[in-house]
Amino acid sequence: MVLFQFSILDIRDERKEDHRAIYDLIQSAFADKEFSSGTEGPIVNRLRTDGDLTISLVAVRAEVLVGHIAFSPLSIEGVSKDIYALGPVAADPELRHQGIGTALINEGLARLRSINARACGLVGDPNYYHRFGFVGNCGLSSGTLPAEVVQALVWGEPLPDGEISFAPAFSTGSSQP
């Protein structure tokens, strides 16, 4: 539990009864983001359906779901061994900039380390993810995206250079809750 704006923020594993609220929260959180494809909620649903949702955490405050984070398998040049992708991460738009995303990321990364993950990768804003130890321009690529937004946090041996591939759910974005 984390003290959060004078109330407790509880971070826990998702439950089946959370699925609709997670979907709605994610869609709401990304609705005003120009980089969003609008498929973030369906991606999480498909990750879950495909068995690729390695870690799925929710943040709850006063019994209301206010945040979510997903971690799924990530491969480099087709090889995936204890490497995971972070994302999407979402917080209730009414509660942005109150530490929900930070708390979810810190807990998620701690859980990855507890399962002996070798590394975590993502595509995102370097200014935001640098505080967690993620590094861009690290030899990883994702299509034509700038190298600084393709980032990794490595706990084990160094990662090979190469193209990263996310779980299949990221390419389709289908499936309603």
End-to-end Cα separation, the chain, in angstroms: 28
- The pLDDT of residue 175: 44
- The pLDDT of residue 41: 85
- The pLDDT of residue 34: 65
How far are the Cα atoms of 77, 136, 161, 162, 165 from residue 141, in angstroms, in the given order?
10, 10, 8, 6, 9
Chain segment 81-112, per-residue pLDDT in tens: 899 999 899 999 999 889 999 999 999 999 99
- The pLDDT of residue 36: 58
Do you know the residue count of the chain?
Answer: 177
- The pLDDT of residue 148: 96
Chain segment 28-86, per-residue pLDDT in tens: 887 777 665 767 888 999 999 999 999 999 999 989 999 999 999 999 998 888 999 99
Cα gap 24→102, rounded to integer Å: 20
Bridge partners, residue 84, by sequence: 73, 120
Chain segment 148-174, per-residue pLDDT in tens: 999 999 998 899 999 999 999 998 644
Chain segment 117-151, per-residue pLDDT in tens: 999 999 999 999 999 999 999 999 999 999 999 99
Question: With contact defined as beta carbons under 8 Å apart, do 84 and 56 qualify?
Answer: no
- The pLDDT of residue 176: 46
- The pLDDT of residue 70: 98
Cα gap 61→4, rounded to integer Å: 8
